[in-house]
Structure 1
Amino acid sequence: MAIFRKPGRSGQPKPTPEPTPGQVAEELAELVEELEEPTAGGPADGGPSRQVVEYEAEYRAERGRRRGATLVASIAKLIGAGSRSAAKGAAYGGRAMADQLMQAAPRIPVRNLATLRAQHPTAADADRLAALLITGASRASAALGAGVGAAAMLPVPPAMAVEIAAETLAVAAVEIKLIAELHEVYGVRAQGNVTQRASAYVAAWANRRGIDPTLLVKPAGLAAMALGAEVRQQVRKRLTRSTLRRLPSLIPLMVGAGIGATVNRRDTRKVGRQVRDDLRSRRPAAAAYWSAAAPALPGETAP
């Protein structure tokens, strides 16, 4: 979002257009993918000096925090930030957040294995690629937590309840994207249309494990699950629990920023590893899925 806005005829700044759910989802995906990139090696690896490496890491972290704060603010607008929601912010509970998440899930961009391998050509196997994805998602979640913590300059201002709800939804979206792409990495992609697959990945996020194997080849089962009260209840409980864990990030004077970043990074890394370990033990849908998604060499066409 621009800090300086062009004034209108009255001399007042023109209002910033409200973000759409699709735009917010795309920006979240960009944040994750930007933070996936490994930091350059040091002099021992033939890379730049230690000072340059440290500066690059700090620059990327600060850029991530700024983008995280902007994204949380955008999501807060979408769920009704401002004077009206400030009064009801404390009552913005798990049911409303679950509805928001289920509606937003199909918009979360998910890369297929061919795209992931092309973006990370040094990842020689599924485990190395999964490690990069988990790292990127963890950094993005940390940036979102730090952004909210930095904004908490007063002890629990009313609007911060909405900010926490927005952060919870943003981190959930990051983790759902991670889970969906881990299924791609290990060759157990869900079937069905976009909505059916998104619902399956939301349920996997709520349960902290891979999709039920019996549903991977049954789109009808995924469609039924998307409407199931049990799934929505699981999602609601997970979101409520996540919201409570993020309350310490409201501590003012930047202390909350550090707490929020640490909690988010740890939680996202944990869920990523839990799902990865579950998927590791499964048989891929196709034995040659990894080689079939190999990036094309110069002069060749993709398989």
Structure 2
Amino acid sequence: MTTGTTPESDPGGPGTDLVPVEQEDLGELVGRIVSEEGADPKRRAGLVARLARALAGSARAAGVKSAAGGRWLADTFAEDIAPRIPVRDRETLIRHHKGLTGEELADVLVRNAAHATTTVGAAGGALAAVQFTAPPLLLTAPAQLVAESLVVAAIEVKLIAELHEVYGTPIPGGGLRRTTGYVTAWAHRRGIDPLQAGQSLTVVLGAAAKAALRKRLLLLLGRHLTTLGPYLTGAVAGGALNRTATLALARAIRADLAPAAVEKAGAGKSAVGKTGKKVRRALGRGA
């Protein structure tokens, strides 16, 4: 999981940097999609389409049994994608958002993430809807929906990591340990307690953590499969479902992190009450 500023975008549009499918770097593609470079809808759509083609090749190489059981999906996300998710530290986040801090900064990050998962869901749902009207092409829909699911997961893991930064509770240790922690937090929909993270987290996902990740990814994929509908119903459903889920995840993570941040800061009783009110208002807005 990379930290610091996001990579600069290249001037070309989607598909201008042609690379053979078998040579595509899954982690690099997802990293570009979830960074500022992927903010443009047309560019994001092109990158997601490339990711779908690369994932199809990767799944074939992994074998039917591994792909069907979800092991390939979890391994791909944990090993190839998660370590390449670009996460900004607190100072970079404040600089990128014109000095915003605290709950205001968290609000912006959540809104941006919800918008990103909404547009990814709408793009995937729209493609699935078009293919639904053309049966011979329907077999290609799952690869697009797998790509969409992994991108949404990456956006949400990035959000979780950056919320930990905003609340002053980043996971201690090196990059692999942080990646493991934030992926685990996403799988369980819980914030990481920084006081226990050093003792409870390892640099690799254990069997239980991988099982939780696999279950969460399969649930996410199953949700996206429900967007297979005629005409534009898939686009509407995909975007709405993703937005609702991302906002719910953000509320859960912020509810875990806010008290820990106050305790870590050693705030007095009055400060705790004031912060608590801000947090309750923010969570009530769903932002």
1:251 aligns with 2:232: no
Identify which range, 15-24 or 149-158, moves more after superposition: 15-24
1:272-291 equivalences in 2 (<5 Å): 272-283=250-261, 287=265
More deviation, 74-83/112-121:
74-83
CA distance in 2, matches of 1:33, 1:83: 24
Q: Can you give the 5+ residue segments of structure 1 that lack an aligned partner in the other structure?
A: 6-13, 35-62, 289-303
Q: Which runs of 5+ in 2 are unaligned?
A: 1-11, 267-287
User: What is the TM-score with the length of structure 2 in the denominator?
Assistant: 0.76
Distance, in Å, in 2 between the alignment partners of 1:184 and 1:82 is: 33
Structure with more of its chain in helix, by fraction: 2
Pick aligned residue for 1:126 from 89, 102, 117: 102
- For 1:51, the equivalent position in structure 2 comes to none
2:122 aligned with 1:158, yes or no? Answer: no
Matched, 1:271 2:256: no
User: Of 176, 192, 214, which aligns to 1:236?
Assistant: 214
- Matches for 1:112-151 after TM superposition, within 5 Å: 112-123=89-100, 125-151=101-127
Match of residue 32, structure 2, among 20, 27, 34: 27
For residues 164-208 of structure 1, what are the alpha-carbon distances to aligned partners after superposition, in whole Å with 9 as ceiling and x for unaligned? Answer: 111111100000000000000001100111111001000000111
Q: Secondary structure at the match of 1:232?
A: helix
TM-score (norm 1): 0.72
* Identity among equivalent pairs (%): 36
The CA deviation at 1:284 is 5.9
Check conservation: 1:75, 1:170, Cα contact below 8 A. no
User: What is the correspondence of 1:155-194 to structure 2 with a 5 Å cutoff?
Assistant: 155=132, 157-194=138-175
d(CA) in 2 for partners of 1:131, 1:69: 26
CA distance in 1, matches of 2:99, 2:14: 38
Q: CA deviation at 1:239?
A: 0.8
Describe how 1:59-138 pairs up with structure 2 within 5 A: 63-64=40-41, 66-81=42-57, 92-103=68-79, 104-123=81-100, 125-138=101-114
> How many corresponding residue pairs?
247
**Shift in CA distance, 285/95, structure 1 to aligned 2, threshold 3 Å:** farther
Structure 1 residues 146 and 182: CA distance shift in structure 2, 3 A: same
Q: Greater CA deviation, 175-184 or 155-164? A: 155-164
Q: Provide closer, same or farther for how the CA distance between residues 181 and 32 of structure 1 changes in structure 2, counting only shifts above 3 A.
A: farther
